[in-house]
Chains A and B, each alone.
Chain A
Amino acid sequence: MKKSGKKRLSRRAMLRALRREADEAELAHIRERLALPMIKRTNFMFVKLPGGGYAL
């Protein structure tokens, strides 16, 4: 069977990439919110549901 030319990443490298991706996504989320005026940043309340749990 022909081997693929791709080098397999180590677990540590994969976790590092995952962490970086999560950090970048978080920063992008913050930037999106900062781009809005304060009056539009109001979707932050969780409401308790009668059967238990929360919903936005």
Chain B
Amino acid sequence: MADVLRELKRVAAAMSDAGLEGVLIGNAAAALHGAPVGTTDLDFFVRSGGLTRKKILAVAEKLSRKKILAVSEKLGGVAIQPFAPVSYRYRIEGTPFPIDMVLVAHGIHSFDGLRRRSTVLPLGSGGRAVYVAALQDVIKSKRASARPKDLAVLSILEETLNEKERQEKA
């Protein structure tokens, strides 16, 4: 079985060391909130700024086993932008699972708002933690994105949210 916790710890440590702020979004966040869904990658919505690209590459260099794969410029590391310049998504490869760092996502308007509504998942000793986007935000983003694979899981995410709210009220 894939060791998600170990990988999350590694990612949290690398992001913290690089000064990169991020919130886990997508199906991984939904699954941590209890939705019975699976995924093949970890998606992080990261705070955008002048040094973001440099920070993402620093994270990539720390996490990845591969050496050079930078696509648009030969910066080293393994962060690639497969759909640049139309997409703001960086993909880190050479890790146990691909990790996506996105600067823009459907339905998410502010990094601060997303982080404020998120849940902090402590990752054991060492003070590392991961911000996990609220299930409402994941649903909102998937609905706004409206890709078939996002729409396919919407009903199960909504059912999880309803059940969670029912249990909180009870």
Enumerate chain A interface residues (CB-CB to B < 8 A).
26-27, 29-31, 33-34, 36, 38-39, 41-48, 54, 56
What does DSSP make chain A's interface, helix, strand, loop or mixed? mixed
Query: Bound state CA distance, A41 and B31, in angstroms?
Result: 7
Instruction: Given A34-B163, A45-B40, output 10 extra A-B contacts at Cβ < 8 Å.
Output: A34-B160, A38-B33, A38-B119, A38-B121, A44-B37, A45-B28, A45-B97, A47-B2, A47-B97, A56-B1
Write 26 A-B pairs (CB below 8 A) sorted by A numbering: A26-B159, A30-B36, A30-B156, A30-B160, A30-B163, A33-B160, A34-B164, A38-B32, A38-B121, A39-B121, A41-B32, A41-B33, A42-B5, A42-B8, A42-B31, A44-B4, A44-B31, A44-B32, A45-B2, A45-B4, A45-B38, A45-B97, A47-B2, A47-B40, A54-B40, A56-B2
Task: Tell me whether A33 and B39 are in contact (CB under 8 A).
Answer: no
Query: Bound state CA distance, A28 and B36, in angstroms?
Result: 10
Compute the total of residue contacts between A and B using a CB distance below 8 Å: 71
